[in-house]
């Protein structure tokens, strides 16, 4: 299938590893010109080397000034950003009892505010051009909150409300705004914790842990021309893990 995005341009944050990197690779495979971003020069340069024609940039998305500079640089490199894949790390685990009030600020600065800042800057030019795609990588925890991830549950639910509201406002200008919700995918984030893939797979109806490459392809389809009628959606990619109807 021709996804119709050959020659488009994309900014992918959180792109040195995992789901962000897989999304950048899948977009590039469709002929999209990609700017890839993470906090670490060595990591993002190494990742960009695996993506045809990708340009690596360094920025910490929790720093509003750095995000401003990043957006200027991305605009210059790409001559306008058609596609934003908004992604970054996850906040630390914790419960209601174990999580201090101050920690919520950090979670909002990582998983909500930079996504809003990038949308505020990039969506108006997309509207002017009559074509744009915004995809945020969130979590299945938005659909079914995970007990020990109160920061993620809270910040990403807020982000999802922002995306839904924005999607409605810009839909008639050819801009779609969606989120894709990972379940369990074998990335550094999971490798970094005490995670047993075989045991975890038993709790997933599909009986396997997600492949980041498949996830990147789903993100890329949501950016396609054919997906122009998908907007305001929160799409689970979780092997059936979330059991609710919505
Ligand atoms: P990952 O393997 O840990 O990769 C995270 C990426 O974000 C890396 O490229 C990291 O690069 C970058 N990053 C982290 N903090 C950043 C910051 N402040 N500014 C810019 N870049 C930053 O994570 P992942 O598994 O791909 O997950 C991606 C997102 O999906 C995360 O928010 C995660 O919580 C969420 N999620 C993942 C799963 C899963 O099963 N994997 C499930 C649910 C939700 P540098 O270190 O080089 O900056």
Is any ligand 1 atom within 6 A of the Cβ of residue 60? yes
With the most atoms of ligand 1 within 8 angstroms of its CB, the residue from 37, 70, 89, 138 to mutate is: 89
Q: List, in order, residues 6 or more apart from 105 with CB less than 8 Å away.
A: none
pLDDT of residue 245: 87
Residue nearest to atom 27 of ligand 1 (CA): 19
User: Which residues, 6+ apart, have CB-to-CB distance to 21 below 8 Å?
Assistant: 15, 36, 47, 50, 51, 212, 216
Q: Could you tell me the distance, in angstroms and rounded to a whole number, from the CA of residue 109 to the centre of ligand 1?
A: 14
Q: pLDDT, tens digit, for every residue of 18-57?
A: 999 999 999 999 999 999 999 999 999 999 999 999 999 9
Pocket test for ligand 1, best of 90, 106, 192 (most atoms within 8 A of CB): 90
Single out the residue of 52, 37, 54 nearest to residue 89, CA to CA.
37
pTM comes to 0.98
As a 3-state breakdown, the chain gives helix, strand, coil percent values, each rounded to 5, of: 45, 15, 35
* d(CA 172, ligand 1 centre) in Å: 32
CA 17 to ligand 1 center in whole angstroms: 7
Supply 110's token pair: 């990582």
How confident is the model over 111-159, as pLDDT tens digits?
Answer: 999 999 999 999 999 999 999 999 999 999 999 999 999 999 999 999 9
Pairing of strands 175-182, 55-58: unpaired
Report residue 159: phi and psi, to 5°.
-60, -40
Q: Is residue 46 within 8 Å of residue 71, measured between CB atoms?
A: no
Q: Does residue 89 have its Cβ closer than 6 Å to ligand 1?
A: yes
Tell which phi-psi region holds residue 130, choosing left (phi > 0), alpha (psi between -120 and 50) or beta.
Answer: left
CB 87 within 8 A of CB 20: yes
């Amino acid at each position: 299938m021709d996804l119709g995005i050959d020659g488009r341009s994309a900014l992918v944050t959180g792109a040195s590893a995992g789901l962000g990197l897989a999304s950048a690779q899948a977009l590039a495979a469709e002929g999209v010109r990609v700017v890839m971003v993470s906090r670490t020069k060595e990591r993002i340069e190494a990742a960009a080397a695996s993506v045809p024609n990708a340009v690596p940039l360094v920025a910490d998305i929790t720093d509003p000034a750095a995000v401003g500079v990043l957006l200027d640089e991305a605009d210059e490199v790409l001559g306008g950003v058609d596609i934003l894949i908004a992604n970054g790390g996850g906040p630390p685990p914790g419960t209601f009892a174990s999580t201090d009030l101050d920690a919520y600020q950090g979670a909002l600065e990582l998983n909500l505010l930079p996504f809003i800042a990038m949308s505020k800057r990039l969506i108006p030019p997309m509207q002017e051009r009559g074509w744009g795609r915004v995809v945020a990588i969130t979590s299945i925890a938005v659909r079914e909150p995970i007990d020990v991830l109160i920061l993620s549950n809270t910040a990403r639910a807020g982000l999802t409300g922002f995306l839904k509201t924005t999607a409605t406002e810009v839909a008639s200008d050819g801009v779609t705004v969606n989120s894709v919700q990972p379940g369990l995918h074998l990335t550094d984030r999971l490798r970094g914790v005490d995670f047993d893939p075989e045991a975890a797979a038993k709790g997933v109806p599909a009986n396997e842990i997600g492949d980041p490459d498949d996830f990147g392809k789903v993100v890329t389809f949501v950016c396609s021309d054919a997906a122009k009628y998908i907007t305001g959606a929160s799409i689970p990619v979780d092997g059936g893990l979330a059991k609710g109807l919505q």
